[in-house]
Amino acid sequence: MNNHFNNKVVWITGASSGIGEALAYAMSGCGAKLILSSRRINELERVKQGCSSQENVFILPLDLSDTNSLDAAVLLAIKCFGVIDIMVHNGGVTQRSLVIDTDIQVHRKLMELDYFSYVVLTKALLPHFLERKTGHFVVTSSVMGKIGTPMRSAYAAAKHALHGFFDCLRAEIAADNIKVTILTPGYIRTNISLFAVTNKPYGLGKPSENIENGLPADRAARQIMKAIKKGAFEAYIGKLSGERVGLWLNRFLPGVLTRIAPKLVPK
């Protein structure tokens, strides 16, 4: 593992908490040079302090919802260390509300943040990868990018869209030695549910039982790094539990999954 990431330049969005934070610690421990991005500068500074080699960590504040700013951010990111080897798309929000209760602006917000920001960053960084004839896009989707359950329509739509876009991109750039790995995490123990978008302006604001019982973020980071090293096209990240079963049913017995999906309300 160490040899694969040693001296690689890795840009991680959503790096101020959760999976992004855990990846920062794990990759730094393997000798990677890091560019850490999110809106919360103080939290990024905290994460930097926890990394193994702080001199090889650059903080690049970024608001993914401001997609007009992302082209310039890519130029700044490349200047940090001169190159970027791995782009980890990890920022975003989740959602908890029924379709009938969810305002269209919530759908637009989720698509802008969880889908379009990834597309804009990818298109801006792609020429750099093509020029160097190497690079790796790592995309944090979700089990919800493969299946659908109640109260996640906007989130699932954005994650499904990621699969379509990045599967097409992979087919286009495979001959250029550029890789695409799509991650489909199940429940990972992070604070993402606290900021879940709902039909109310203040959001969910409370822990999720499912997430609290999920895979610890540091173990998720190790699984992700194995998938990156392997060059996996797609990788499930999480416990060997119900989410993994759901993916299996979706592939082999979709009718069964459709019948039980109404019962899979998030807790």
Please state, in angstroms and rounded to a whole number, the distance separating the CA atoms of residues 138 and 254: 27
Handedness of CA 206, 212, 214, 220 (dihedral sign): positive
CB 170 within 8 A of CB 191: no
The b/e string for 110-145 (b: 16+ C-beta within 10 A; e otherwise) is: bbbbbbbbbbbbbebbbebbeeeeebbbbbbbbbbb
Residue of 25, 115, 118, 155 with catalytic role: 155
Confirm whether 202 is a catalytic residue. no
CB 13 within 8 A of CB 38: yes
Give the three-class secondary structure for 8.
coil
Residue type at 147 in one-letter notation? I
CB 47 within 8 A of CB 21: yes
CB 194 within 8 A of CB 204: yes
Please state, in angstroms and rounded to a whole number, the distance separating the CA atoms of residues 200 and 206: 13
Give CA separation, 98 vs 111, 114, 146, 152, 197, in Å. 17, 19, 19, 7, 11
Number of H helices, E strands in the chain: 11, 9
CB 125 within 8 A of CB 84: yes
Give the three-class secondary structure for 54.
helix
Question: Catalytic site residues?
Answer: 155
